[in-house]
Structure 1
Amino acid sequence: MTHYNTVLVGTDGSETSFRAVERAAELARDAQAALVITCAYFPAKPDPHDTDVLGDEAYQVVGSAPAEDSLRTARDRATKAGATNVQTQAVQGKPSPSLIKAAQDTGADLVVVGNVGLNTLTGRLIGSVPQDVIRHSPVDVLVVHTT
């Protein structure tokens, strides 16, 4: 059996993605591996009106603030599941290419994804994150049943 040193998992802040994070955390804990949690995002374009209306809270609609919130929750859940060496990273871009690049950049030897989108009509017609990652990942991929 292969020993994994670095496990990578993506989150989009959804409950199903947090289930994948928890499973990845359990695997990382059992393998005494590092866990890298990645969240892809597209920054919102700044609008001067946002600052006028939102004041000090305007930072939440630009940059990676929503991704950072998702990563904070994912880190908490991973730690609760027993992972001890947890790293997080917000990556600007589409989810599938961002996960694949993150696997290469971090030296991950396992990518964990949830199964959302695998058996949907949309997933069959235009693809899904799990399908794309399975197809293009340079390393092993574990698909977690999260639905």
Structure 2
Amino acid sequence: MVYSCILVGYDGSEASRLAIEKAVGLARRLGAKLVIATVVPPPTVFLGELLIPEVTELSEIEKPARERLGKLVKEIREAAGLENVESALLVGDPAEELVNFAEASGCDLIVVGRRGRGGLERLILGSVSSKIVSISHCVDVLVVESSSAKKN
């Protein structure tokens, strides 16, 4: 299958850096557009029993994330020689936002890293990569394992 748009999730971890390396290689070989996405959680305020989104704080989270994404896109364009590289800053649940963005923007492959959490930690915290695989019905998913994932 030939992919024309590759979406890669980036959170600054070793696993996401490996996912970017894999996605860059694929984009170069296939001549595909590369979109690097970071998902930030919506800020919330706890009032009694309600969690209410704190809209005024969102810009405080978005600004440094946008700057990191811009720097990363520039590095990839220069180091890998890819011109068709874009970034996306999403807010919400990482798995859901990445899948929704891929479907809405026409990306046909999602590349994500897997950190390799142990059984109990994975059970409690969940796994973004596992959730993406389970909810993505229209877009292919490539999960790249980090060295810590291979040990587990």
TM-score (normalised: structure 2): 0.75
Q: Distance in 2 between matches of 1:120 and 1:113?
A: 19
Task: State how far apart, in whole Å, the 1-side matches of 2:84 and 2:43 are.
Answer: 31
Distance 2:40 2:119 in 1: 23
CA contact (8 A) 2:116 2:145 kept: no
2:86 alignment partner in structure 1: 87
Please tell me whether the aligned partners of residues 36 and 88 of structure 1 are also in contact (alpha carbons under 8 angstroms): yes
Residue 52 of structure 1 is matched in structure 2 by none
| Aligned match of 1:51 | none
Superposition deviation, residue 77 in structure 1: 4.2
- 8 Å Cα contact 1:39-1:70 kept in structure 2: no
Quote the residue 1:39 is aligned against.
38
1:70 maps to 2:58: no
Please report the RMSD computed on the Cα atoms of aligned residues, expressed in angstroms: 2.4
> Gaps spanning 5+ residues in structure 1: where?
46-58
Per the alignment, residue 10 of structure 2 pairs with 11
8 A contact 2:42–2:58 mirrored in 1: no
Distance in 1 (alpha carbons) for counterparts of 2:17 and 2:75:
7
Give the fraction of aligned pairs with identical amino acids, expressed as a percent. Answer: 37
Give the number of equivalent residue pairs: 133
SS in 2 for 1:62: helix
What CA distance in whole angstroms lies between the structure 1 residues aligned with 2:117 and 2:81? 28
Which consecutive segments of 4 or more residues in structure 1 shift more than 6 A?
none
